[in-house]
C-alpha cells in the first residue's frame, strides 16, 4: 500500500523543527496565533476531559497550548520533530506521542473527542485522503479543525502573480542542502518578509487597508515567526494550495458536516463535525 507522505518533505520538516523549536516564540504571540487557528472552533462541543489528537504536531508548539485545555492529547508526527515535541511538552503529563504518518491509523476509529491538523495536510500527496483518515478517528459529532494553505482565491491576479514568482524560488531552494537552505530562507526573511511586514504596519497606522500587500499578515508578528515561516514556505519540497470551495468539498467528502470557515487570516482555517 502506498504511504501518504513525501519522504523528502518529512525530512525537511524534521530539520526545520530541530532548528526552529519555537522556544523563542513568546507566549503572547503563540497565544495570538493559536487563537487565529481556532477562531471558529466549537469549544462548547468538547466534553469535559476530552481526548483528541494533533496530526502533524511538529515542534509541539500548538499542542503545548492545547494540552492544558483537554483531558488527553495524542501528538502524531512521522518526522524526527517528534523528539522536539517531547522536549516542548516534557512538563505535560496528559500527552502521548506517536511517530506515525496520517494513514498509519495511530488511534482506533471512532475514539476521539476532537482532532486538528494545522498547516500539515497540504504537504502530503493525497490531502483529501488524509482528512478522511483523521475524521475516521473521531467519534460522531466531534470537531475536526483544519488549516490548509489557500490558493489566493480571495486575492487579486497581481497577488497571485507574486505568489507564482515566489513558488519558482521555492522549487529551487527546497532542493538545496540544509545549511544553504537555512541561509537563503533567513535572507528572504530579512529582504522580503520584514520590509513588507513593516510597510504594512506603517500603512495600517496611516489608515490604509493592507490586505492587498503580500505578507501583510506578519505586520504584528515577530521576526522569529517570519524566519520560521520563510523556512516553511520556501524550504518545503511538497506544497499544495486549495480554494475555499475545494476545502469545503474535501471536508464534506471526508464525512464532516456544519463546516465553518474563519473569515480572517491565515486562510483557510475551517472546522467541521463528524457526521
Average pLDDT of the segment spanning 213-225: 96
* 75-95 residue pLDDT tens: 999 999 999 999 999 999 999
- Cα separation of 178 and 25, whole Å? 22
The CATH code of the domain that includes 18 is 3.40.50.150
pLDDT of 3 reads 84
Q: Check pLDDT > 80 for residue 1.
A: no
Question: What is the number of domains present in the chain?
Answer: 2
What does each C-alpha distance from 158 to 41, 143, 189, 259, 265 come to in angstroms?
A: 32, 36, 21, 30, 19
* 102-113 residue pLDDT tens: 999 999 999 999
207 shares a domain with 245: no
- The pTM of the full predicted model, rounded to 2 decimals, is 0.94
Average pLDDT of the segment spanning 222-237: 96
Is 146 a domain residue?
Answer: yes
195 shares a domain with 75: no
Average pLDDT of the segment spanning 220-238: 96
Average pLDDT of the segment spanning 194-217: 96
Average pLDDT of the segment spanning 240-263: 98
The arrangement of strands across the sheet holding 143-147 comes to 95-99, 72-77, 51-55, 114-118, 143-147, 269-274, 256-261
73 shares a domain with 20: yes
Are 140 and 114 within 8 A, CB to CB? no
200 shares a domain with 88: no
Average pLDDT of the segment spanning 45-60: 97
Is 211 a domain residue?
Answer: yes
**Preceding peptide of 266 cis, ω within 30°:** yes
Is 2 a domain residue?
Answer: no
145 shares a domain with 174: no
Average pLDDT of the segment spanning 34-40: 98
pLDDT of 91 reads 96
What contacts 264, CB < 8 A, 6 or more positions away?
A: 36, 39
223 shares a domain with 248: no
pLDDT of 25 reads 95
188 shares a domain with 144: no
The domain in which residue 255 lies consists of 7-151+241-274
Are 245 and 111 within 8 A, CB to CB? no
Is 111 a domain residue?
Answer: yes
207 shares a domain with 175: yes
Is 173 a domain residue?
Answer: yes
Are 208 and 226 within 8 A, CB to CB? no
What does the DSSP 8-state code read for residue 10?
A: H
pLDDT of 37 reads 98
Q: Which of 188, 259, 263, 254 is nearest to 226 (CA)?
A: 188
* 114-153 residue pLDDT tens: 999 999 999 999 999 999 999 999 999 999 999 999 999 9
User: Of 96-100, 161-165, 265-269, where does mean pLDDT reach its minimum?
Assistant: 161-165
202 shares a domain with 81: no
127 shares a domain with 28: yes
115 shares a domain with 72: yes
142 shares a domain with 121: yes
Average pLDDT of the segment spanning 160-188: 94
Q: Check pLDDT > 80 for residue 10.
A: yes
Q: Give CA 82 to chain center in angstroms.
A: 15
Strands (E), 19-107: 51-55, 72-77, 95-99
Amino acid at each position: 500500500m502506498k504511504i501518504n507522505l513525501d519522504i523528502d518533505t518529512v525530512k525537511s520538516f524534521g530539520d526545520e523543527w530541530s532548528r526552529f523549536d519555537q522556544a523563542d516564540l513568546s507566549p503572547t504571540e503563540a497565544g495570538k496565533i493559536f487563537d487565529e487557528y481556532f477562531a471558529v472552533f466549537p469549544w462548547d462541543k468538547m466534553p469535559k476531559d476530552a481526548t483528541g489528537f494533533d496530526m502533524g504536531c511538529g515542534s509541539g508548539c500548538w499542542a503545548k497550548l492545547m494540552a492544558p485545555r483537554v483531558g488527553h492529547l495524542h501528538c502524531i508526527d512521522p518526522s524526527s520533530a517528534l523528539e522536539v515535541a517531547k522536549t516542548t511538552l516534557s512538563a505535560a503529563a496528559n500527552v502521548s506521542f506517536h511517530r506515525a504518518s496520517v494513514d498509519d491509523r495511530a488511534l482506533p476509529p471512532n475514539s476521539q473527542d476532537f482532532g486538528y491538523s494545522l498547516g500539515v495536510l497540504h504537504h502530503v500527496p493525497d490531502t483529501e485522503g488524509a482528512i478522511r483518515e483523521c475524521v475516521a478517528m473521531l467519534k460522531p459529532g466531534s470537531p475536526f479543525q483544519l488549516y490548509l494553505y489557500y490558493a489566493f482565491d480571495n486575492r487579486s491576479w497581481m497577488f497571485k502573480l507574486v505568489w507564482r514568482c515566489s513558488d519558482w524560488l521555492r522549487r529551487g531552494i527546497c532542493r538545496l542542502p540544509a545549511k544553504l537552505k537555512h541561509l537563503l530562507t533567513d535572507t528572504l526573511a530579512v529582504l522580503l518578509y520584514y520590509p513588507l511586514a513593516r510597510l504594512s504596519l506603517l500603512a495600517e497606522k496611516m489608515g490604509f487597508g493592507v490586505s492587498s500587500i503580500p505578507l501583510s499578515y506578519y505586520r504584528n508578528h515577530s521576526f522569529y515567526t517570519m524566519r520560521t515561516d520563510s523556512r516553511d514556505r520556501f524550504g518545503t519540497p511538497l506544497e499544495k494550495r486549495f480554494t475555499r470551495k475545494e476545502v469545503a468539498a474535501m471536508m464534506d467528502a471526508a464525512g464532516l458536516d456544519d463546516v465553518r470557515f474563519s473569515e480572517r487570516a491565515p486562510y483557510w482555517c475551517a472546522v467541521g463535525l463528524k457526521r
